Amino acid sequence: MTDRVFIIAEAGVNHDGSLDDARRMIDVAAGAGADAVKFQTFQAGQLVTRRAGKAAYQARNTGEDGGQLAMLKALELAHEDHRGLAAHAAARGIRFMSTAFDLDSLAFLAALDMPAVKIPSGDLTWGAMLLAAARLDRPLIVSTGMADLDEIRDALSVIAFGLTRTGTPAGRADLARAFADPAGQARLRERVTLLHCTTEYPAPLTAVNLRAMDVMAQTFGLPVGYSDHTLGTSVAIAAAARGATVIEKHFTLDRTRPGPDHAASLEPAELAGMIAAIRDVEIALGRPVKAPAPEELANRAIARRSLVAARPISAGELFSLDNLTAKRPADGISPMDIWPLLGQPAARAWQADEAIDA
């Protein structure tokens, strides 16, 4: 992770099972300026049963009903394919990532040079996966779609246990103690970033609730980012402005393709535009201080005012709010210093608009 927003271009399964398209997606992500390009590593038979049906958005986006197993089987890439993709990403100067959806895939990915291990929203309640991921002792990015604060706390408790203890927990009490332990909290702060997420593709704006980022950050004291499933780029850019440390966004080579995630994904030019806008936001956010920018200082004399005579003032006449006013430029007494002058006699005569110098 870096001090700036870490932008993950989520290729996911939008390669449609084509290794050539997966390579092209790496090229697109690198050209767009993303920090990492992320895929999904799974063995369909270890992910779903034959009875698992498609989510409504999956059926809608693929144009057919049926089960998840056949759909996911067609989207698998072999483990060795991922090695080749990681090498291609390194050659293009972009970090390779992939989300593991089974324990074998997690163990395989652990040998690759990834900047972080990603826990998908659907696995937030899979204790064995959380424990195994924690035991890798790598940075963890944990998506929280569909979850409430209690479920997030439960997941963090497993991770805290894995980071600070050996063996397996006997139950929730062991996990709660690991989470409450200052050592567990310290390790969570070292290793974990939470991602706010709405698990719907595309996600309607009414379901986004970016303020949940603030709640998670305040509740758990961890860095928070955003995994965006909305259409377009505005919400991801807004999340960056709101303080997201990680932005994850799906992209595709062609949004009109059939497939579960294409419809909610950015096309290449849109991805590049989003990344450029987030980088602009980073620059504009600046530092947590309020002080004039160096570029403003030269404009002070031009934009601010000095005390001047509102009309001709005779020598000995008492200064008042009627015969004093403030006009540009700021080359004399500040209008903030008018108060001690009020009721004092003028030492000499002043013409209208003449700067007051005493």
Q: What is the DSSP string of 203-251?
A: PPGGGT-THHHHHHHHHH---EEEEE-SSSSHHHHHHHHTT-SEEEEEB
Tokens of 93: 């100067």
Q: 71 and 14: one domain?
A: yes
pLDDT of residue 1: 43
Residue 305 lies in a domain: yes
pLDDT of residue 56: 66
Q: 243 and 103: one domain?
A: yes
pLDDT of residue 318: 98
Q: Supply φ then ψ for residue 10, to 5 degrees.
A: -85, 100
Q: 208 and 315: one domain?
A: no
**Tens of pLDDT, residue by residue, the chain (358 residues):** 446 999 999 999 999 899 999 999 999 999 999 999 999 998 776 677 777 665 666 656 565 666 667 777 778 898 999 999 999 999 999 999 999 999 999 999 999 999 999 999 999 999 999 999 999 999 999 999 999 999 999 999 999 999 999 999 999 999 999 999 999 999 999 999 999 999 998 999 999 999 999 999 999 999 999 999 999 999 999 999 999 999 999 999 999 998 778 989 999 999 999 999 999 999 999 999 999 999 999 999 999 999 999 999 999 999 999 999 999 999 999 999 999 999 999 999 999 999 999 7
pLDDT of residue 42: 82
Cα distance between residue 118 and residue 84, in whole Å: 20
pLDDT of residue 313: 98
Q: What is the number of structural domains in the chain?
A: 2
Q: 255 and 304: one domain?
A: no
Residue 149 lies in a domain: yes
Residue 139 lies in a domain: yes
Residue 134 lies in a domain: yes
Q: 330 and 259: one domain?
A: no
Q: 212 and 317: one domain?
A: no
Domain of 49, CATH number, reads: 3.20.20.70
Q: 130 and 274: one domain?
A: yes
Q: 236 and 300: one domain?
A: no
Q: H or E segment at 117? A: strand 117-119
Quick check: pTM over 0.85?
yes
Q: 298 and 281: one domain?
A: no
Q: 281 and 298: one domain?
A: no
Q: 111 and 260: one domain?
A: yes
Residue 102 lies in a domain: yes
Rg (CA), the chain: 29
Q: 105 and 88: one domain?
A: yes
Domain span holding position 327: 294-341
